[in-house]
Amino acid sequence: MVAKADKIFVNLPVKDLQKSIDFFTAVGFEFNPQYTDENATCMIISESIYAMLLVEDFFKTFTKKEIVDSTTSTEVIVALSVSSKAEVDNLVNKALAAGGKPFNDPIDHGFMYTWSFQDVDNHLWELMHMDESAVNQG
């Protein structure tokens, strides 16, 4: 039997919750007010994908490990698939305009197009569009 999950909640530590909310609001994301307080917010990415942005001290209550210094190290790249190359460009440009930093330049493989940015806490986000009809299903 293959393991199956219905939803994903990516938990990310942030230094300044309001700054992160402002940043991701400018990119175009919304937040669930039921899961938002001074310690955390639930960013809605899709009907089944969420990012829990947790103030670092609150994040530390969930782990015994040290939080990675995201200015020098990477533990995860949050990769999101979107509907078109134009949507990749649109979201990354919004992120850069809102104070994000460029990471990788756009890469066009023909069947797949990607572009990456760093958010205000230096977490890596990669937006991609894949032409499913060009991918060998065999």
Residue 127 lies in a domain: yes
Instruction: For 98-121, write each residue's pLDDT tens digit.
Output: 999 999 999 999 999 999 999 999
Give me the pLDDT at residue 109, please: 93
**How does pLDDT run across 4-15, given as a tens digit for each residue?**
889 999 999 999
30 to 37, 87, 105, 131: CA distances (angstroms): 15, 17, 26, 27
Angle at 108 between CA 102 and CA 113, to 5 degrees: 75
| Counted domains in the chain | 1
CA distances from 7 to 45, 46, 47, 57, 126 (A): 11, 10, 8, 25, 19
pLDDT in tens, the chain (138 residues): 788 889 999 999 999 999 999 999 999 999 999 999 999 999 999 999 999 999 999 999 999 999 999 999 999 999 999 999 999 999 999 999 999 999 999 999 999 999 999 999 999 999 999 987 766 655
Q: Does the residue 3 lie in any domain?
A: no
Residue 2 lies inside a defined structural domain of this protein:
no
| Alpha-carbon distances, residue 99 vs 20, 40, 88, 95, 127 (angstroms) | 10, 21, 17, 7, 17
Domain limits for position 79: 8-134
Distance CA(22)–CA(29), nearest Å, equals 10
Decide if 16 is inside a domain: yes
Residue 64 belongs to some domain of the structure: yes
CATH code for the domain in which residue 25 is found: 3.10.180.10
Separation between Cα atoms, residue 104 and residue 118, nearest integer Å: 9
Q: Is residue 1 part of a domain?
A: no
